[in-house]
Structure 1
Amino acid sequence: MAASLRGLLDDPTIPGSVREAMAADFRRVETMLDRLEREELHIAVFGRVSAGKSALGNALLGRDAFAVGVLHGTTTEADAARLDEASSAGLVLIDTPGINELGGEAREKLAFEVAEVSDLIVFVADGDLTREERDALRTLAATRRPLLLVLNKADRYSDEEREGLLEQLRQHAAGLVRREDVLAVAARPSAREVIEIDAHEREKRTSEAAPADVLALKTRLLAIAEREGKTLSAINAGLFAGRLTDQVTGRVAATRRDVASGVIRQYCIAKSVAVALNPVPVADLLLAGGLDAAMVVQLGRVYGLPLTRGESGRLVAVITTQLAALMGAVWGVQLVASALKGLSGGLSVVVTAAAQGALGWYATVLIGRAAEHYLITGKSWGEHGAKRAVADIVASLDRDSILREAREEILRLLRK
């Protein structure tokens, strides 16, 4: 798994623009590599605002590692600290922002992201689950991380009430959390009143902090780490790497499509103007064929599948043959317009320039998109062949809007 992550980080085919746009994700991969090498198990402490997530983390650690406050939204950024008592097991707690703070959409997004790249999730509640908490629990379960559901502030309830609440939580979490992984804790129990009687039999009332009651949860976490910690880390790193690879692939494809669109547009302009202004009959169409072949060569470079001039010429011939079969009438109009130039000694260029140039533009778009399809599918037309692929591309494009844009652009250029 470490080799797979390292390969993703070092992949030379990923463009710099994609790396920059996904810098945070690549940093996560580096973090995952580090924790795999250190054999750490990352645990996200998750829940709604004021359920006591930070206090629970501190109780497990035995020190104040996470900020705890009375105001909503004390935790605004993810933080992490090693679980000192379990350093040999490599447990690392990650405290996350609350899911339900008003105006805290960005913090909620951060919390879900942290949970997604963690190995195990501790979901903290302080009573029966709200609809929002049940929705969050289902979303987290969909990340395929092991889940523990913890009833915090259990000291506020009587034994009977606590058992009733635990049973309700087990019912809400049925199919998402194992029954034995629904536990009760008291991260910051209320202070206890202590009554002392002095030598004169006078009562003196004081309060003292009660110790945290998190032993059951800590024992459960250590048992999971001991039994399946390494496996969980490897599986979850693999899941994240798989998703990231899909995202990178999508970004690279989008970047290539953007660059390819720019290339096609450049050739649309060059070809349409050249076709419109060339006064020699049919020669403009031959010139157009040369531009099409050059465009296809450049598209091959964009998609990392270089084509020779011969290959590009043959590809253009296949595409134009299919286009001619589909759109013979349109190509006939272009041939007639080309012939008109010769019959009138070039005087009809102004009359036919915009119309013929627009057709040249449209043809370039069709050839460019068809060549893209061929390259994206690995120099292949797919199982249905060139005829079906070209027909689908023709059907997917709005001819009228392309011709309108082309005419406007050509007239603008001719005015110059």
Structure 2
Amino acid sequence: MTVPEPLPVNGDAHLALARDSLRELLDDKRVPPPVRAALAEEYQQLQVLLDKIEHGHVHIAVFGRVSVGKSALLNALLGAMRFSTSPLHGETTRADHARWQEYDAGGVFLIDTPGINEVAGEAREQLAHDVATRSDLVMFVVDGDITDTELKALRQVKGVAQRLVLVLNKIDRYTRADRELLLQTLRERTEGLIQPQDIVIAAAQPTERIVILVDADGNETETRRCPPADVTALRERIWDILKAEGKTMAALNAGLFAGRFSDRLSREIITIRHDVADKIVRNYCLGKGVAVALNPIPVADILAAVATDAAMILHLSRVYGLPISRTEAGSLLKTIFTQLVFLMGTVWGMNLVASALKGISLGLSTVVTAGAQGAVAWYGTYVVGRAAEQYFAQGKSWGEGGPKRAVQDILDSLDRESLLAQARDDILARLKPLL
């Protein structure tokens, strides 16, 4: 058989785009160190993909149930016993790979994986999923009519794999008529998942056959022989795919992985920023609540509270990588505060009353009143912080509903009584040693 020509050059532009995309993700200095630490494994996979593209490698993985002949199929393609085979279930326990030197000067790697129905299958199915996301072509192997379990796994692999070929292995066990019936059934059951031309047959490790030898005198001798492997149809189909789509296929696979990584990166950054922002807001809430509770001058503590909220907004802007000036922070606070006054007029009225009462109260009543005053201030700062965080998380935008809708949604989502009780307890715990 003639070895096909090298991969076409018309995929070079696609590979260059994929390579630039991977490098940009790897070299992005804006990613916070905690996010890089949380995604260390994904970053390592990105580097592997980048190395693969730069060296012009193509990865082909094999999937299937235990003992359908995955390892034997790869050995037959390689023409050597590179992968372990055994009549025992579960011989392949981890992903393994070998260079397929017969094609494109060894730029293609064949990857073996554990069976999808192995014991402790969840971990191994995850391994299979991970390999599929990094493979350019996947061979899904069956040895008969596809089962419901296999069909489910095929759909899962289809969701992450760039290119799929379905292999009906062990065809030596079937008559010609049964073989044709099986192929027709596979085409029908995988319609919409696998193209008919991508369903091929193979006999990776034919079973021994009894052969009767007759000598010149007519004497018969019975012996056993193993027919040679037959993977011609599979080899030719793989070569056709690599020749037509090789570099573009590798580029698309890298692009898909980069896209999934970007989504994961965005979610991780949002989560970490939210966690940091939540701690900042709560620290400012407590600081403001205690400061308001301790200030004995009626109404004047409200002015100090405004400065606290403005400082919190400045801090939050830096967390989200959108730093603003003090003037902008004051303007944003004014916008939020205006909506709070409109939506919480009664609460803020109580705030002023408590402030006045605090100046004439004595003893325990002062502590209780101060705690109530501080709790309201704590709650107000919490709402301001949540609103400001949402504004920065949306890229310094209130969204279609504007600030009024944003603040209203935040108020509706909060358990006011629970938050006020928590604030009061935190503030009183700080106040008691001081009063």
Query: What range describes the TM-score normalised by the shorter chain of this pair?
Result: over 0.9
Q: Which amino acid aligns with 1:399?
A: R
Residue number in structure 2 paired with 1:269: 286
Shift of residue 357, structure 1, vs aligned partner? 1.5
The answer to whether the 8 A contact 1:54-1:95 is kept is yes
Residue number in structure 2 paired with 1:326: 343
Residue number in structure 2 paired with 1:383: 400
Matched, 1:352 2:365: no
The answer to whether the 8 A contact 1:279-1:345 is kept is no
Residue number in structure 2 paired with 1:220: 237
Matched, 1:60 2:77: yes
Residue number in structure 2 paired with 1:185: 202
Match of 2:252 among 220, 225, 235: 235
Matched, 1:285 2:299: no
Per the normalisation by structure 1, the TM-score is 0.95
SS in 2 for 1:383: coil
Superposition CA RMSD, Å? 1.8
- Structure 2: distance between partners of 1:130 and 1:279: 77
SS in 1 for 2:160: coil
SS in 1 for 2:109: strand
Shift of residue 382, structure 1, vs aligned partner? 2.1
Matched, 1:10 2:27: yes
SS in 1 for 2:103: helix
Q: Give CA deviations for 1:66-120 in whole Å, capped at 9, x if unaligned.
A: 2222232222222221112113373221112211123211101111221122111
Q: Which runs of 5+ in 1 are unaligned?
A: none
- Structure 1: distance between partners of 2:163 and 2:395: 39
Match of 2:174 among 157, 160, 163: 157
Residue number in structure 2 paired with 1:166: 183
- Structure 2: distance between partners of 1:415 and 1:76: 62
The answer to whether the 8 A contact 1:196-1:205 is kept is yes
Please identify, of 207-216 and 191-200, the stretch whose mean Cα deviation from structure 2 is larger. Answer: 191-200
Match of 1:88 among 86, 105, 108: 105
Shift of residue 203, structure 1, vs aligned partner? 4.1
- Structure 1: distance between partners of 2:315 and 2:75: 59
Residue number in structure 2 paired with 1:255: 272
Please identify, of 337-346 and 128-137, the stretch whose mean Cα deviation from structure 2 is larger. Answer: 337-346
- Structure 2: distance between partners of 1:50 and 1:414: 70
Match of 2:54 among 31, 37, 42: 37
Shift of residue 373, structure 1, vs aligned partner? 1.3
Shift of residue 267, structure 1, vs aligned partner? 0.7
The answer to whether the 8 A contact 2:367-2:431 is kept is no
Match of 2:334 among 290, 308, 317: 317
Residue number in structure 2 paired with 1:140: 157
SS in 1 for 2:167: strand
Shift of residue 388, structure 1, vs aligned partner? 1.4
The answer to whether the 8 A contact 2:136-2:161 is kept is no
Q: Give CA deviations for 1:130-182 in whole Å, capped at 9, x if unaligned.
A: 10111111222233622211111111111111111111111111111111211
Residue number in structure 2 paired with 1:409: 426
The 3 A distance-change label for structure 1 pair 105 and 144 is: closer
The answer to whether the 8 A contact 1:267-1:295 is kept is yes
Residue number in structure 1 paired with 2:9: none
Q: Which amino acid aligns with 1:357?
A: G
Per the normalisation by structure 2, the TM-score is 0.91
